[in-house]
Amino acid sequence: MRFDVLTIFPEIIESYINTGVIGRATNLKQTIAIETHNIRDYTRDIHKKVDDSPFGGGAGMILQIEPIYEALANIIRQNPDTKKHIILTKAGANIFNQEKAIQLGENFDHIIFICGRYEGIDARVEQYLSNESLSIGQYVLTGGELPALVMLDAIARHIPEVLGNQESLEQESWTNTNTKEYPQYSRPAIFKPERPNLIDKNAPSEWAVPEVLLSGNHKSIQDWREDNKK
C-alpha cells in the first residue's frame, strides 16, 4: 500500500515513519511505501511562499490552492493506476476511528493526506481536491501532520505483515464492536518498588500479577480476561 503526505513540514512526518513498526514495514518488509511532499516545492513563488491572507479579511494566513493542486497532479501522474483516496486533515471534520481505519485499508491501495496549516486552507482544496475531510478529535492542533500520522499508523497496522504478529489485531481495543482490551502483565511476577506510593498513596508494597495468569489454566485465564476487559 502507498501513502503520500503533502505538508510544509516534511521533517515531522519523516522522523516518525522511519522508526518502529512503520519504519520496519517501509524499510525492511517493504509492505508499505510512504512518501512526503513539501508543498513549497510546488509553488511558483520565488520565495517559496505557499500562504496568503484570506479574501474578505480575517485573522491569519491561508494555505493556497495552487501548490497543493500541483503536488497532487504530480503524484497522480506518477501513480495513474492506483486506487486513490485523498484525505484533508481538518479540525471540525468527521472524527476518524478504528472502523474507518479498517475500511480505508480494505478499500484503497493509495492514501494521500493533505496537511492543513496556519489559519486554514483554501476551501477549494476540500471542495475539488479531496475525497473527504477527517479529524482525530474535538480539539484544534497547529497543523495536520499529527492527524495524518495518527491515521496513517492506524491504517497501516491492518495491512498484512506490517505487524510482527497479526494476531495482535484480533485482540486490540476498538477492533471488535468497540470492545476494549484486558489488562496484560509481564515479568517480574512480583515487583517490589523502592517507593510504592510514588504516585498512588494507597498502593501496596508489593505489586503482584494476578495469580490466575500464572496458573497455566487456559480456561481460567480466558475467563479472567473476559471479565476484566476495560
User: pLDDT 10s per residue in the chain (230 long)?
Assistant: 999 999 999 999 999 998 888 887 877 667 899 999 999 999 998 899 999 998 888 888 899 999 999 999 999 999 999 999 999 999 989 999 999 999 999 999 999 999 988 778 999 999 999 999 999 999 999 999 999 999 999 999 888 766 654 444 455 555 555 566 788 999 999 999 999 999 999 999 999 999 999 999 999 999 999 999 88
What was the pLDDT predicted at 55? 86
For the entire predicted model, the pTM comes to 0.83
Distance from C-alpha of 10 to C-alpha of 1, rounded to nearest angstrom: 20
Q: Where exactly are the structural domains of the chain?
A: 2-168, 182-227
Q: Is the dihedral of CA 74, 4, 40, 147 positive or negative?
A: positive
Closest CA to 146 of 26, 52, 17, 1: 17
What was the pLDDT predicted at 165? 45
What was the pLDDT predicted at 177? 53
DSSP 8: S
| Fold designation for 2-168 | Alpha/beta knot (3.40.1280)
What was the pLDDT predicted at 125? 96
Closest CA to 37 of 64, 63, 11: 11
Distance from C-alpha of 1 to C-alpha of 159, rounded to nearest angstrom: 8
Instruction: Provide the CA 180 distance to its chain's centre, in angstroms.
Output: 19
What was the pLDDT predicted at 135? 96
